[in-house]
Amino acid sequence: MGRHSCCYKQKLRKGLWSPEEDEKLMNHITKHGHGCWSSVPKLAGLQRCSKSCRLRWINYLRPDLKRGAFAQDEEDLIVELHAVLGNRWSQIAAQMPGRTDNEIKNLWNSSLKKKLRQKGIDPNTHKPLTEADRSGAAPTISTERTSGSSDVNPSSAGALGNFGHLLSETAQSSMLLPVYDKKRPETPSLARPKVPAKELFLDQLTAGHESPSSCRSSGPTLYFPFQQQLGYSNECGSGDGANMNSLWFNQNDFSCNTISTVMPTVSPSALSTPMGLNLPPDNHRHGGTGIGSAPFYWDGVNPSSSGSTGSSGSNSMGFEPQSTNSILENSVFPWTDIGVGQEKDTRVQLVEELKWPDLLHGTFAEATTAMQNQSQSLYDDVIKAESQFNMEGICASWFQNQQPQQQLQAASDMYDKDLQRMPLSFEHI
């Protein structure tokens, strides 16, 4: 029990992951799948424990992650889900495609709890704060982890307890109309016992919501692209790596999942925006949100060793953050002429959504090509809908291993050496 045996081994690296480590892990998993996590570090040539590798993959390298700030809808959904599930972050994350439990947990602890308190709501119970609470008394009830039992947030026990008033009207009405997915396979891999009634509710809750992903784009409905925590995908594959494939891209196999699994969408503008050239906005930094949150060291050096900062440091390409902003602001891109705040917000959002794993997954190269081909229609595309260009196709094709080696090489090159090439691609715009 307790720590994994691997953790006792010496010489295991800890702390932030370097780009090289990321690349190794990415290379290994894309080639072989993670299979048994315990063997990943060795096979991938990493001085990390298996848990660290797994965590890194799940929270960061997985291609279906979206990043950037949470939309208001997403925050609302988290609050509603938390009211039902308590601190079951993994289950909450399962309802929010592209978001990790860690991400949601961080958001909750750093932001949402405060917001709720400011609204006079106890974040633990989701009930109105008492005077004692308001005066700074200790929190009333802690939503402890629910190891194995079907308990939920104390106040949510039973028929959603007393927090129903916090749920959206849609959600409340939806929960009256549970739809049971009879095809949903029961899987032995589900560690935590399920609560059927709650699950039904959650289906409806999320369905009642605007699709979480659509909070960011008006693309196709996106539900549950990765159901590993619910174990839906496991029956779709077999053998080494199969789980991984089904985990990511079983949208091509709807016979396995009754819920369509769709990759997060990326707008044409997102792809047209110089992927990777969108240096972190000034208010971003190494480890910040969006692309800034990726350990994408613009100077190619881990900041922990270089001491450089994302906001002030230059990079190997000679781009200053401000210069990129200027590029955007100066309307190199046709859509930047749009004098609409919304469009600017969209642009910022897109910048935030970019992340280097996209580059690792070869989307940059494809995006560049697509961008060139579509340059004439980009403006219209952007105006119409962000969702018309879908990552799904890119990623799906890539993960069907049409040309894995080329993709991998491109990703590798892109990541650690050839950032200089980006300006060349830039010129094609």
Partner DNA sequence: AAGTAGAGCAACCGCCAAGCT
Partner DNA sequence: GAGCTTGGCGGTTGCTCTACT
Q: Which of 38, 260, 322, 397 binds DNA (CB under 7 A)?
A: 38
* Residues composing the chain: 429
Q: Which of 11, 14, 72, 158 binds DNA (CB under 7 A)?
A: 14
Q: Which of 72, 147, 342, 373 binds DNA (CB under 7 A)?
A: 147
Residue number with CB closer to DNA (243 or 368): 243
Residue number with CB closer to DNA (69 or 429): 69
> Least Å distance between CB 314 and DNA?
13
Residue number with CB closer to DNA (8 or 169): 8
> Least Å distance between CB 321 and DNA?
9
> Least Å distance between CB 340 and DNA?
24
Residue number with CB closer to DNA (194 or 421): 194
Note whether 288 binds DNA by CB under 7 A: yes
Residue number with CB closer to DNA (194 or 344): 194
Q: Which of 123, 212, 295, 362 binds DNA (CB under 7 A)?
A: 295
Q: Which of 32, 117, 184, 192 binds DNA (CB under 7 A)?
A: 192
Note whether 194 binds DNA by CB under 7 A: no
| Stretch 53-72 residues interacting with DNA (CB under 7 A) | 54-56, 59-60, 67, 69
> Least Å distance between CB 283 and DNA?
6
| Stretch 232-271 residues interacting with DNA (CB under 7 A) | none
**Alpha-carbon distance values, 328 to 100, 184, 323, 336 (Å):** 30, 46, 9, 7
Note whether 13 binds DNA by CB under 7 A: yes
> Least Å distance between CB 161 and DNA?
18
Residue number with CB closer to DNA (120 or 393): 120
Q: Which of 47, 168, 170, 311 binds DNA (CB under 7 A)?
A: 311
| Stretch 71-130 residues interacting with DNA (CB under 7 A) | 87-91, 101-103, 105-107, 109-111, 114
Note whether 9 binds DNA by CB under 7 A: no
Note whether 188 binds DNA by CB under 7 A: yes
> Least Å distance between CB 330 and DNA?
22
Residue number with CB closer to DNA (286 or 366): 286
Binding range to DNA, per CB under 7 A, among 35-43, 128-136, 170-178, 334-342: 35-43
Phi, psi of 53 (to 5 degrees): -65, -45
Question: Which 3-state string (H, E, C) describes the chain?
Answer: CCCCHHHHCCCCCCCCCCHHHHHHHHHHHHHHCCCCHHHHHHHHCCCCCHHHHHHHHHHHHCCCCCCCCCCHHHHHHHHHHHHHHCCCHHHHHHCCCCCCHHHHHHHHHHHHHHHHHHCCECCCCCCECCHHHHCCCCCCCCCCCCCCCCCCCHHHHHHHCCCHHHCCHHHHHHCCCCCCCCCCCCCCCCCCCCCHHHHHHHHHHHHHCCCHHHHCCCCCCCCCCCCCCCCHHHHHCCCCCHHHHHHHHHHHCCCCCCCCCCCCECCHHHHHCCCCCCCCCCCCCCCCCHHHHCCCCCCCCCHHHHCCCCCCCCCCCCCCHHHHHHHHHCCCCHHHHCCCHHHHHHHHHHHHHCCHHHHHCCHHHHHHHHHHHCCCCHHHHHHHCHHHCEHHHHHHHHHCCCCHHHHHHHHHHHHHCHHHHHHHHHHHC
Note whether 51 binds DNA by CB under 7 A: yes
| Stretch 371-410 residues interacting with DNA (CB under 7 A) | none
- Residue 86, phi-psi category: left (phi > 0), alpha (psi -120 to 50), beta (remainder): left
> Least Å distance between CB 291 and DNA?
10
Residue number with CB closer to DNA (147 or 373): 147
**CA–CA dist 33, 393 (Å, integer):** 20
Residue number with CB closer to DNA (161 or 334): 161
> Least Å distance between CB 416 and DNA?
16
Note whether 229 binds DNA by CB under 7 A: yes
Size, binding site for DNA by CB under 7 A: 72
Note whether 32 binds DNA by CB under 7 A: no
Cβ distance 91 to 206 under 8 Å? no
**CA–CA dist 411, 398 (Å, integer):** 12
Note whether 46 binds DNA by CB under 7 A: no
**Alpha-carbon distance values, 403 to 124, 222, 356 (Å):** 49, 27, 20
| Stretch 326-355 residues interacting with DNA (CB under 7 A) | none
